[in-house]
Copies of this chain bind each other. A is one copy, B any other.
Amino acid sequence: MIDNPYYTPEFHGDYDVVSIGRLDLEEGGSIPDCHLAFATFGTLNDAKDNAILIPTWFSGTHQIWRDVYIGPDHALNPEEYFIVVVDQIGSGLSTSPHNAAGPNADIAMSRFPKVRIGDDVVAQERLLRKHFGIQTLALVVGGSMGAQQTYEWAVRFPNKVLRAAMIAGTAQNTPHDFLFTKSLIEAITSDPGYAEGEYKSNTDVVAGLTRHAGIWAVMGFSTEFWKQEVWRALEFDSKEAFLAGFLEPYFTAMDPNDLLAQAWKWQRGDVARHTGGDLVAALGRITAKTFVMPISEDMFFPVRDAEAEAKHIPNSELRVIDDILGHLALFGVAPTYMQQIDQNLRELMAIPA
User: With an 8 A cutoff between CB atoms, is A64 at the interface?
Assistant: no
Contact A175 B227 (CB under 8 A): yes
CB of A195, distance to nearest CB on chain B (Å):
13
Closest-CB distance, A161 to chain B (whole angstroms): 27
Minimal Cβ-Cβ distance residue in B for A192 = B192
A180 to B218, CA, bound (A): 6
A189 to chain B, nearest CB (A): 10
Q: Which residues of B contact A217 (CB under 8 A)?
A: 179, 183
Across the two chains, which residue of chain B brings its CB closest to A219?
Answer: B218
Q: Which chain B positions have C-beta within 8 A of A79?
A: none
Q: Given contacts A190-B207, A191-B190, A192-B192, is CB(A176)–CB(B214) below 8 Å?
A: no
Chain A 35-94 interface residues, beta-carbon cutoff 8 Å to B: none
Pairwise interchain contact B239-A183, C-beta atoms closer than 8 A? no
Within 8 A of B (CB), among A317-338: none
From B215, B224, B305, A304 is in contact (CB under 8 Å) with B224
Within 8 Å by CB of A183, from B191, B214, B227, lies B214
Which of A177, A179, A304 has the most chain B CB within a 10 Å cutoff? A179
Check: A302 CB closer than 8 A to any chain B CB.
yes
Contacts of A222 in B (CB 8 A): 176
Which chain B positions have C-beta within 8 A of A305? 223, 227
- Counting contact residues on chain A (CB < 8 A from B), the size range is 35 or more
Q: How far is the CB of A324 from chain B (nearest CB, A)?
A: 12
Among B174, B179, B187, B299, which residue has its beta carbon within 8 angstroms of that of A299?
B299
Q: Check B176–A302 contact: CB distance below 8 A.
A: no
Q: Which residues of B contact A214 (CB under 8 A)?
A: 179, 182-183, 186
Q: How far is the CA of A183 from the CA of B208 in the complex (A)?
A: 12
Are B304's CB and A176's CB within 8 A?
Answer: no
Tell me if A211 is interfacial: C-beta within 8 Å of chain B: yes
B183 engages A211 (CB within 8 Å): yes
Contact (Cβ within 8 A) B174 A186: no
Tell me the complex Cα distance, A19–B305, Å.
52
Q: In the complex, which residues of chain B have a beta carbon less than 8 angstroms from the beta carbon of A182?
A: 214
> B223–A176 contact, CB under 8 A?
yes
Chain B residue numbers with a CB within 8 Å of A175 are: 226-227, 229, 239
Q: Which residue of the partner chain B has the closest CB to A227?
A: B174
Interface presence of A300 (CB below 8 A):
yes
Among B211, B225, B239, B299, contact of A190 (Cβ-Cβ < 8 Å): B211
A-B contact pairs, 21 of them (CB 8 A): A175-B226, A175-B239, A176-B218, A176-B221, A176-B222, A176-B223, A176-B225, A176-B226, A176-B227, A177-B223, A179-B217, A179-B239, A183-B214, A183-B218, A186-B211, A187-B187, A190-B191, A190-B207, A219-B219, A223-B300, A227-B305
Q: Chain A interface (Cβ within 8 Å of chain B)? A: 174-177, 179-180, 182-183, 186-187, 190-192, 207-208, 211, 214-215, 217-219, 221-227, 229, 239, 299-300, 302, 304-305
